[in-house]
Amino acid sequence: MPPITPAPTGDTADDLAAVNALRELADQLEDAAVERALREGWSWAQIAAALGVTRQAVHKKHLRRVEQANIDLRRRNG
């Protein structure tokens, strides 16, 4: 097929853009909800279970970021 130049808007472009926007929204929602859970006293294991991922994955993704927040991360089971 010869190359085409799709328009940035239209059904297909809109759906692809929606995927991009959903990923952004999912990331932001995850950051916010994980932090809120930690402030409410959730353990890393509980957050991971609610997210459907491993504890290691949550740790890796969020620990560095939330260490800068004012949350007591000591003595937290799992």
Partner 1 sequence: MVEHQGRSNRFEEQAFRVDMRAAIGVAQVEASNRGSSTIEAEHLLLGFLFDRTSPATQALAAAGLTYETFDAALRAEREQTLAAIGIQLPDPSRLVATRPAARQLRFGASSREIWENGMRSFRSRRARAQRPTPTDFVSAILATELGTVPRALVHTGLDRNALLAALGTVSTTSG
> Which residues of the shown chain bind partner 1 in the complex (CB under 8 A)?
5-6, 8-9, 13-15, 17-18, 20-22, 24-25, 27-29, 31-35, 64-66, 68-69
With beta carbons less than 8 A apart as the criterion, state whether 47 and 38 touch.
yes
* Shortest distance (Å) from residue 31 CB to partner 1: 4
Which CB sits closer to partner 1, 22 or 50?
22
Which CB sits closer to partner 1, 49 or 66?
66
Here the contacts of 11-16 (C-beta below 8 Å, separation 24 or greater) are none
* Shortest distance (Å) from residue 75 CB to partner 1: 20
* Shortest distance (Å) from residue 76 CB to partner 1: 17
Burial class (CB in 10 A: 0-12, 13-18, 19+), 73: exposed
Distance CA 78, CA 41 (A): 12
